[in-house]
């Protein structure tokens, strides 16, 4: 087996069994995750702790190039040089009971409704209630001195990174570059001495994000990650980890992982702004207070579920859908479009509202729903003007706004969802929830496989 493994190329996670040897199994990995589960008189191989949770809570992760010989008596791990090595066995908090659907029809629905709780749990790990301020774990570098932060991720996690770019540049005055990991890893970007790189991934095993991390590490960047699995490869290879406490996310379309990623990135923004002297105490207190209100406001938004289900009946008839927003909500427009296309198979695109006249306005007619995020704030008037332009051309608008926005233009649109009035800083976290609900209900009406959409995987561990 060892000789055969050396002849293999590419990425793989293998489980090999042998005719005539029922008590023997060989596992091997290269650029794909693999974990060993330790039971009572029995052993398991699986992709991660979540896959093994119904069987055992004692988990050991294989390192890059490892292979393992498993019998009923235990496991012997060898590294890429065939040396016997020890890999720590850890007790995971996951169990089979944690990954059931409970009272919900789909995992995605359950995970949407868990968001007030998991956002609160995540926030609790970064908020000091006695000092009433955000406190990150100790970092091996000074946020106040890094010249630039590079953010890299894939899919929904990339949109979380784009929101963070807006926050960190506007509030912390920190130059940020945000890249899709599959592009960043190949374009050989120069990175500044003493810089930092941030990688965002729910699973912590996303192959392109992991490759981007290794590139940044080779460029001597300080490596920071935001992951939902603290034992994952990305976490293990980072200098510091800011964990999301979303719990197991089973639905392929990310929901609670996304909003907890945004919660962590909001906390990072406040801490970076303080370290860089970009905000005074009064503004820090205001931003911190806004973040601590998010769980309660998220629960309020979930009360709109039936209303959004009604709107979904309209959207489900469409072949194309546009999402428009400005500023830090622009990535939410792209995320809303991604959610809808992922699980309902309806073509959708997210655009910056200011780009509407540069092409998308040609698509406007009564058959193309236009979903607009327009909370009160400095960009509201411009976005409201875009709404007027869509309506004037026969477009049918679904407006997501607060009380002031709904009063202003709510009567001119097809549907309006009145969301809580919040500080613009936290609007991206909260405005994610209605677009998740909309995508979910449209997919249910279309009869698709909500939790396992065609051609998609929860964790993309191959190129």
Helix (H) or strand (E) holding 370: strand 369-373
Could you tell me if 381 and 437 are in contact, meaning their C-beta atoms sit under 8 angstroms apart?
no
Same CATH fold, 302-446 and 103-292? yes
pTM of the model: 0.90
pLDDT in tens, the chain (463 residues): 888 888 898 888 999 999 988 889 999 998 888 999 998 888 999 988 778 888 888 889 898 899 999 998 889 999 988 899 999 898 876 655 556 788 899 999 999 999 999 999 999 999 988 888 999 999 999 999 999 999 999 999 999 999 999 999 999 999 999 999 999 989 889 999 999 999 999 999 898 999 999 999 999 999 999 999 888 889 999 999 999 999 989 999 999 999 999 999 999 999 999 999 999 999 999 999 999 999 999 999 999 999 999 999 999 999 999 999 999 999 999 999 999 999 999 999 999 999 988 988 888 888 999 999 999 889 999 999 999 999 999 899 999 999 999 999 888 899 999 999 999 999 999 999 999 999 999 999 999 999 999 888 766 655 6
Helix (H) or strand (E) holding 310: helix 305-315
**Rounded to the nearest 5 degrees, what angle is found at the Cα of 155, between the Cα atoms of 157 and 452?**
105
DSSP track, 66-100 = -EEEEETTEEEEE-TT--EE----EE-S--GGGGS
Burial-class residue 35 by CB neighbours within 10 Å (0-12, 13-18, 19+): buried
Contacts of 142 (CB under 8 A, 6+ apart): 275
Q: What is the CATH number of domain 2-98?
A: 3.60.20.10
Assigned token pair, 306: 């039936």
What's the CATH superfamily of 302-446? Glucose-6-phosphate isomerase like protein; domain 1 (3.40.50.10490)
Cα–Cα distance, 191 to 78 (Å, whole number): 35
Q: What is the CATH number of domain 103-292?
A: 3.40.50.10490
Cα–Cα distance, 218 to 80 (Å, whole number): 21
Cα–Cα distance, 332 to 414 (Å, whole number): 21
Query: Of the candidates 214, 170, 216, which has an alpha carbon nearest to the alpha carbon of residue 194?
Result: 216
Query: What are the beta bridge partners of residue 226?
Result: 200, 242
Domains of the chain: which residue ranges?
2-98, 103-292, 302-446
Query: What are the beta bridge partners of residue 197?
Result: 150, 223
Could you tell me if 375 and 402 are in contact, meaning their C-beta atoms sit under 8 angstroms apart?
yes
Cα–Cα distance, 170 to 133 (Å, whole number): 20
DSSP state, 239?
Answer: S
């Amino acid at each position: 087996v060892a000789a055969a493994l050396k002849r293999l190329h590419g990425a793989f996670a293998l489980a090999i069994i042998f005719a005539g040897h029922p008590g023997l199994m060989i596992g091997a990995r290269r650029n794909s995750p693999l974990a060993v589960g330790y039971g009572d008189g029995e052993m398991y191989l699986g992709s991660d702790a979540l896959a093994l949770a119904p069987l055992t809570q004692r988990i050991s992760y294989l390192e890059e190039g490892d292979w393992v010989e498993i019998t009923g008596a235990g496991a012997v791990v060898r590294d890429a040089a065939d040396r016997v090595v020890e890999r720590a066995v850890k007790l995971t908090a996951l169990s089979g009971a944690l990954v059931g659907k409970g009272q919900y029809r789909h995992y995605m629905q359950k995970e949407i409704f868990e968001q007030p709780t998991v956002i609160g749990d995540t926030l609790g790990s970064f908020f000091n209630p006695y000092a009433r301020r955000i406190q990150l774990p100790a970092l091996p570098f000074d946020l106040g001195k890094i010249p630039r932060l590079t953010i890299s991720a894939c899919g929904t996690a990339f949109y979380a990174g784009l929101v963070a770019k807006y926050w960190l540049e506007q509030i912390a005055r920190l130059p940020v570059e945000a890249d899709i990991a599959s592009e960043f890893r190949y374009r050989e970007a120069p990175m500044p001495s003493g810089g930092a790189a941030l990688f965002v991934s729910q699973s912590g095993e996303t192959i392109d994000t992991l490759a981007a991390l290794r590139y940044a590490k080779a460029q001597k960047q300080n490596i920071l990650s935001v992951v939902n699995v603290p034992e994952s490869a990305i976490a293990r290879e980072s200098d510091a980890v800011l964990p999301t406490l979303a719990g197991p996310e089973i639905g392929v379309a990310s929901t609670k992982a996304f909003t907890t990623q945004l919660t962590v990135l909001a906390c990072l923004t406040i801490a970076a702004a303080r370290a860089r002297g970009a905000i005074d105490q009064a503004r820090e207190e205001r931003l911190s207070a806004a973040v601590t209100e998010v769980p309660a406001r998220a629960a309020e938004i979930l009360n709109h579920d039936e209303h959004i289900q009604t709107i979904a009946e309209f959207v489900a008839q469409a072949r194309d859908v546009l999402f428009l927003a400005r500023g830090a909500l622009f990535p939410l427009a792209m995320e809303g479009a991604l959610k809808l296309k992922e699980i309902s198979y309806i073509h959708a695109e997210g655009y910056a509202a200011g780009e509407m006249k540069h092409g998308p306005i040609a698509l406007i007619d009564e058959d193309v729903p236009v979903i607009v995020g327009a909370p009160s704030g400095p960009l509201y008037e411009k976005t409201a003007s875009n709404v007027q332009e869509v309506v004037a051309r026969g477009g049918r608008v679904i407006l997501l706004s607060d009380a002031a926005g709904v009063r202003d233009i709510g009567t001119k649109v097809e549907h309006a969802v009145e969301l809580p009035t919040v500080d613009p800083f936290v609007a991206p976290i909260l405005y994610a929830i209605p677009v998740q609900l909309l995508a979910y209900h449209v997919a249910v009406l279309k009869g698709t496989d909500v939790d396992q959409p065609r051609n998609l995987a929860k964790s993309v561990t191959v190129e």
